[in-house]
Amino acid sequence: MSKKPLILGIESSCDETAASVVTQNEEGLPLVLSNIVSSQEEIHKKFGGVVPELAARSHIDKIDWIVKKAIDESRISIDKIDAVASTAGPGLVVCLSVGLSFGKAFASVINKPFIAVNHLEGHALSPKLNSKLDYPYLLLLISGGHSQFLSVQNLGKYKRLGTTIDDALGETFDKTAKMLGIDFPGGPQIEILASKGNPKKYDLPKPIYNKGGCNLSFAGLKTAILKISKSIKTEQEKFDLAASFQKTVLEILKKKTKIAFEEFEKENKIKEKIFVIAGGVAANKKIRSLLIDLCKEHNYQSIFPPMEFCGDNAAMIAMVGLEKFKLKQFSNLDFPTKPRWPLDENASFLKGAGVKI
Ligand code: KG4
Ligand code: ZN
């Protein structure tokens, strides 16, 4: 039996320091041997968002023991590692450089190839960590920094169908939470508050609902919440605003996903229609059930990564590293950090005032 590749993955693009060892099973599917994630939630809580300098310092403090723990838990010895894969972008440059430099140094010390990985590609392929998944498929990536619909054609081959033109959905959940007095990251709390409220209480705007294809926009919704939140006096009103916000998000996602289905089908002639929903916001139960129902109506198979691989982790980075290792797609040791690194490099930049959609 030939030796299965063993890949060490490292992730430090934002506020999670993570390391993982991934190999493959007899059928060639990824097998996670260890997956260590250390969150910095406590550090950034009081600031209401991630403070890059503090995040980078924390990555520096933790990275060596997180990597050691990942290797120890995988029960392999260092000399058996075949390649080291680190996130090179997108993300906060001071954070990215910690995991990227560590990965390059580690690879050169053990004299094995180094592989630079796009963090978004990690999210995009994350369902492969626990299920067989064939290309092409439609992907909705909803995280703290990104909200996009992508047609996933192959490893490294993506076509963006739609993206947010302003805020990401996770960021909108977090900012809404902040306006309701909830500590960062408040996204998961909004879901709990919403379950106690009346979703019909507040009528909130749905920006670019009737135009812009499957592009998304959440800035106007956030501004409307800011105005209402100033007049809120009771706990029940808080619950009602959270519920109305979540209901509005569901309506936006429903409409835009239907458009994305049509665009995906125009792009790809396929028998088996697959819709993958990845990123931290994919943990939201209401969003999950909405998209599962929509998939049933439109003959799509819905796939969510397991909860442990929805948020930032290094198993998804090691897994992309494994795919690239098999194709001998190695990176040079002078590979730069890429704070902006879109999956579809040909897609136009759609952010900021004056954007025409
Ligand atoms: O993918 P992720 O862990 O990190 C990024 O790459 O951004 O996503 C984190 C985001 C945060 O904005 C967080 O509030 C949001 O995902 N999130 C949720 C839920 N769980 C996490 N948003 C809404 N409902 C949830 N249950
Ligand atoms: Zn992420």
The domains located in the chain, with CATH, are 7-128+309-326 (3.30.420.40), 135-304 (3.30.420.40)
Instruction: Answer for the pair 244, 196: CB distance below 8 angstroms, yes or no.
Output: no
Average pLDDT over residues 75-88: 97
Separation in Å, CA 345 to CA 111, 165, 341, 348: 31, 16, 8, 8
Give me ligand 1 centre to Cα 290, in Å. Answer: 17
Average pLDDT over residues 309-317: 93
- Ligand 2 (ion): residues with CB under 5 Å are 143, 312
Measured from the alpha carbon of residue 173, the closest ligand is: 1
Is 275 touching ligand 1 by the criterion CB < 6 Å?
A: no
Closest protein CA for atom 10 of ligand 1:
144
More confident residue, 40 or 155: 155
Structure confidence at residue 41 as a pLDDT band (50, 70, 90): confident
Express each pLDDT in 138-162 by its tens digit. Answer: 999 999 889 999 999 999 999 999 9
Residue 96's identity, in one-letter code, is: L
Q: Which pLDDT belongs to residue 140? A: 97
Is residue 353's pLDDT more than 70?
A: no
82-94 core/surface letters (b: 16 or more CB in 10 A; e: else):
bbbbbbbbbbbbb
Q: Which pLDDT belongs to residue 52? A: 87
Average pLDDT over residues 28-57: 86
pTM for this structure?
A: 0.91
Instruction: Answer for the pair 68, 103: CB distance below 8 angstroms, yes or no.
Output: no
Structure confidence at residue 354 as a pLDDT band (50, 70, 90): low
Q: Which pLDDT belongs to residue 355? A: 58
Express each pLDDT in 82-108 by its tens digit. Answer: 999 999 999 999 999 999 999 999 999
Q: C-alpha angle 246/249/252, rounded to 5°?
A: 155
Is 173 touching ligand 1 by the criterion CB < 6 Å?
A: yes
Best mutation site among 173, 189, 246 for ligand 1 pocket (most ligand atoms within 8 Å of CB): 173
Is 284 touching ligand 1 by the criterion CB < 6 Å?
A: yes
- Neighbouring CB atoms inside 10 A of 356's CB total 7
Q: For residue 302, which of 288, 293, 292 has the smallest C-alpha distance?
A: 292
Express each pLDDT in 191-244 by its tens digit. Answer: 999 999 999 999 999 999 999 999 999 999 999 999 999 999 999 999 999 999
Instruction: Answer for the pair 148, 160: CB distance below 8 angstroms, yes or no.
Output: yes
Contacts of 266 (CB under 8 A, 6+ apart): none
DSSP secondary-structure letter at 118?
E
Is 187 touching ligand 1 by the criterion CB < 6 Å?
A: yes
Contacts of 188 (CB under 8 A, 6+ apart): 283, 284
More confident residue, 132 or 172: 172
Q: Which pLDDT belongs to residue 357? A: 56
Structure confidence at residue 24 as a pLDDT band (50, 70, 90): very high
Percentage of residues of the chain with pLDDT beyond 70: 97
Measured from the alpha carbon of residue 146, the closest ligand is: 1
The Cα diameter of the chain in Å comes to 68
Closest atom, ligand 1, to C-alpha of 13: 6
Q: Which pLDDT belongs to residue 1? A: 47
